[in-house]
């Protein structure tokens, strides 16, 4: 089953939309190229445009874990922290309840 990762992000209120967009695009372009990344989507909160949720789909949890480990290295370091008001909150979902 595909693993879904939700990354909840709160942006700095003084970050310009252009800075946010370029930083998010740069970061997620690297993510997209990582082994096992099936898709990415960025949702912007209608009530608070400084609140984003990144929806990631990975082939396996192990693929995501390898990616997360890479992000923790100097070569995988992301500039995303420059536009965040606080560290992101990540939740990983790898099982579902079947609805019939």
Residue range 31-84, pLDDT digits in tens? 999 999 999 999 999 999 999 999 999 999 999 999 999 999 999 999 999 999
Residue 2 to residue 11: CA distance in whole angstroms: 28
13 phi, psi to nearest 5 deg: -70, -20
DSSP state, 84?
Answer: B
Q: Is the CB of residue 53 less than 8 Å from the CB of residue 9?
A: yes
Residue 48 to residue 39: CA distance in whole angstroms: 24
pLDDT band, residue 1 (cuts 50/70/90): confident
Structure-block tokens of residue 8: 């909840």
Predicted TM-score (pTM) of this structure: 0.93
Given this model, what pLDDT does residue 31 score? Answer: 97
Structure-block tokens of residue 73: 């290295």
């Amino acid at each position: 089953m595909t693993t879904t990762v939700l990354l909840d992000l709160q942006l700095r209120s003084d970050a310009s939309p252009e800075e946010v967009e370029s930083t998010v695009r740069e970061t997620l372009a690297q993510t997209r190229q990582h082994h096992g990344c099936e898709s990415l989507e960025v949702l912007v909160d209608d009530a608070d445009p400084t609140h984003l949720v990144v929806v990631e789909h990975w082939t396996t949890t192990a693929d995501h874990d390898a990616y997360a480990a890479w992000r923790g290295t100097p070569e995988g370091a992301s500039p995303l922290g420059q536009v965040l008001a606080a560290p992101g909150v990540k939740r990983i979902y790898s099982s579902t309840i079947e609805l019939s």
